[in-house]
């Protein structure tokens, strides 16, 4: 039998699609400029109608728009799973915290610490991101051809709070922008299942879990099988239609996000350990280093869980019953990496698409990031899909926003690897804090030499 060559990973395919998309986009951009400058604009119009034209635009009734159709079909496939994914995953996440009598205090400390770390991450990303946004680093100089939009309707911003509680369940589920309403329904369902108990809600929980599994399989299939092709056509169309202006803000987004993730991973968690437990943070970083490497290389919180559990208990001195509760819960609830990426990415997209972002709208973005990330499933590209949930929730959905979102899909793989690492280490950090506060941390083990 012939040895089968190992297939390239999704990250490699994404990278190839990114490179080919940029190359093709530059070639089309050069062709466009050459044809227009030589008086052959009609030829370019024909090429544009066949490949790139938005077929929903006025006067485009005879256009084919092949690249536009492929890109939009991919985007719509992601939109298709937003509401069911958010609803099932958050309902299940809340519904798993059932033994409140014996773990009530530990649950409260765990969730509170997760949220506190999350707020620190949001604050860091919000300050840096809004500063860059106001300084114009995310702006695209030429927005001609894009749908003009300010991102606001002039209505009272408190309507966002009011609309969190839907008056009609069917309406909430049929509207991709009603994300907060879906989160409210999911949290309510999860809490109600906890009150009723495991016996009465076993069938419902199994149904939600199976539905969530189907959604993850669908999402995995769409991103894995069609993601590279979609990235190629989205990037090609971006540069062919709007040019190189998107590269600079995309580079600013990537560099800023990576720096903030690394800063929070090293300095942020060190401060959290020192302030929250009065322990030496250097010992924590040294012992968690192997988990950092493993989580980054696998880009999977689930895959890193066994090593994280072993390291947290055997080398950091956390009691097994604390680590066994906090670490699995952190796979779903603790999303510090998502907070940083999604805030910076949303501001980058807003800048590219011509939307205005105020401190109040940034607060809404942060709230959406918080509640949407709670149920992020362990699937490739899930963080980017949650990002689309946030964009839909704040109304950043014009053509420029979708093009910028396509760029993020292409370049986000290493960033998502860092996000996963941040989330995994954050769960271990929380375990140390909870164990210390409960008197279940072995300080001698924590302070022992690194194995």
149-166 pLDDT, tens digit per residue, is 333 333 444 565 677 788
| Mean local confidence (pLDDT), 246-254 | 76
Collapsed DSSP state (helix, strand, coil) of residue 169 = helix
Question: Measured at the alpha carbon of residue 349, what is the angle toward residues 343 and 355, in degrees to the nearest 5?
Answer: 105
Rounded mean pLDDT of the chain?
78
What pLDDT does residue 42 have? 87
* Higher per-residue pLDDT: 60 or 246: 60
Q: Which of 67-71, 87-91, 176-180 has the lowest mean pLDDT?
A: 176-180
* 132: Cα within 13 Å, side-chain hemisphere: 29
> Is residue 1 very low, low, confident or very high in pLDDT (cuts 50, 70, 90)?
very low
| Mean local confidence (pLDDT), 436-440 | 86
Name, in order, each residue with C-beta under 8 angstroms of 261's C-beta and a sequence gap of 6 or more. 337, 340, 341, 415, 418, 419, 421, 422
By C-alpha distance, which of 317, 265, 292 is closest to 435? Answer: 317
> Is residue 377 very low, low, confident or very high in pLDDT (cuts 50, 70, 90)?
low
43, 139, 263 from 183: Cα distances, Å: 50, 31, 30
197, 237, 294 from 400: Cα distances, Å: 47, 11, 36
> Is residue 261 very low, low, confident or very high in pLDDT (cuts 50, 70, 90)?
very high
201-235 pLDDT, tens digit per residue, is 888 888 988 888 888 788 778 777 887 888 788 77
293-340 pLDDT, tens digit per residue, is 777 766 667 667 777 888 898 889 998 878 877 887 777 677 788 888
* 99 pLDDT more than 80: no
Dig out the tokens for 70 from the structure.
């492929």
Using CA atoms, how far apart are residues 282 and 236, in angstroms rounded to an integer? 46
User: Computed from CA positions of residues 240, 246, 247, 253, in that sequence, does the dihedral angle turn out positive or negative?
Assistant: negative
Q: Which of 18-27, 44-53, 103-112, 429-438 has the lowest mean pLDDT?
A: 103-112
By C-alpha distance, which of 431, 425, 114 is closest to 296? Answer: 425
* 181 pLDDT more than 50: yes
| Mean local confidence (pLDDT), 47-52 | 87
> Is residue 419 very low, low, confident or very high in pLDDT (cuts 50, 70, 90)?
confident
User: Can you give the pTM of this predicted structure?
Assistant: 0.66
What letter does residue 9 receive in the DSSP assignment? Answer: P
Query: Which runs of E-coded beta strand occur in 21-79?
Result: none
> Is residue 81 very low, low, confident or very high in pLDDT (cuts 50, 70, 90)?
confident
What pLDDT does residue 156 have? 47
> Is residue 407 very low, low, confident or very high in pLDDT (cuts 50, 70, 90)?
confident
């Amino acid at each position: 039998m012939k040895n089968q060559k190992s297939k390239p990973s999704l990250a490699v395919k994404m990278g190839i699609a990114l490179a080919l998309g940029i190359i093709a986009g530059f070639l089309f951009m050069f062709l466009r400029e050459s044809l227009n400058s030589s008086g052959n604009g009609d030829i370019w119009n024909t090429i544009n109608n066949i490949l790139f034209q938005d077929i929903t635009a006025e006067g485009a009734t005879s256009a084919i728009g092949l690249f536009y159709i492929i890109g939009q079909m991919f985007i719509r496939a992601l939109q298709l799973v937003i509401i069911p994914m958010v609803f099932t995953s958050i309902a299940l996440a809340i519904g798993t915290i059932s033994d409140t009598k014996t773990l009530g205090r530990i649950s409260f400390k765990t969730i509170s610490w997760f949220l506190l770390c999350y707020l620190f991450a949001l604050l860091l990303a919000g300050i840096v991101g809004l500063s860059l946004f106001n300084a114009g680093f995310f702006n695209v100089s030429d927005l001609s051809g894009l749908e003009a939009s300010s991102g606001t309707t002039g209505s009272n911003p408190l309507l966002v709070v009011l609309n969190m509680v839907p008056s009609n369940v069917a309406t909430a589920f049929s509207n991709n922008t009603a994300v907060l309403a879906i989160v409210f329904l999911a949290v309510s369902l999860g809490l109600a299942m906890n009150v009723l108990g495991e016996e009465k809600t076993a069938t419902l929980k199994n149904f939600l879990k199976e539905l969530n599994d189907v959604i993850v399989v669908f999402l995995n299939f769409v991103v894995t099988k069609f993601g590279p092709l979609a990235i190629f056509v989205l990037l090609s169309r971006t540069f062919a239609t709007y040019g190189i202006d998107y590269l600079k803000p995309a580079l600013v987004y990537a560099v800023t996000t990576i720096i903030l993730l690394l800063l929070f991973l090293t300095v942020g968690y060190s401060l959290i350990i020192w302030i929250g437990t009065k322990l030496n943070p250097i010992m924590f970083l040294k012992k968690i280093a192997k988990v950092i490497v493993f989580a980054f290389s696998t880009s999977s919180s689930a895959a890193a869980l066994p090593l994280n559990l072993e390291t947290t208990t055997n080398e950091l001195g956390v009691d097994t019953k604390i680590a066994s509760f906090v670490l699995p819960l952190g796979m779903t609830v603790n999303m510090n990496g998502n907070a940083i990426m999604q805030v910076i990415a949303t501001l980058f997209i807003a800048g590219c698409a011509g939307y205005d972002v105020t401190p109040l709208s940034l607060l809404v973005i942060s709230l959406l990031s918080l509640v949407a990330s709670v149920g992020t499933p362990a699937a490739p590209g899930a963080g980017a899909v949650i990002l689309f949930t946030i964009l839909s929730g704040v109304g950043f959905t014009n053509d420029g926003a979708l093009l910028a979102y396509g760029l993020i899909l292409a370049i986000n793989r290493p960033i998502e690897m860092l996000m996963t690492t941040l989330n995994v280490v954050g769960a271990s950090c929380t375990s140390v804090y909870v164990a210390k506060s409960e008197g279940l941390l072995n300080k001698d083990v924590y302070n022992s030499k690194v194995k």
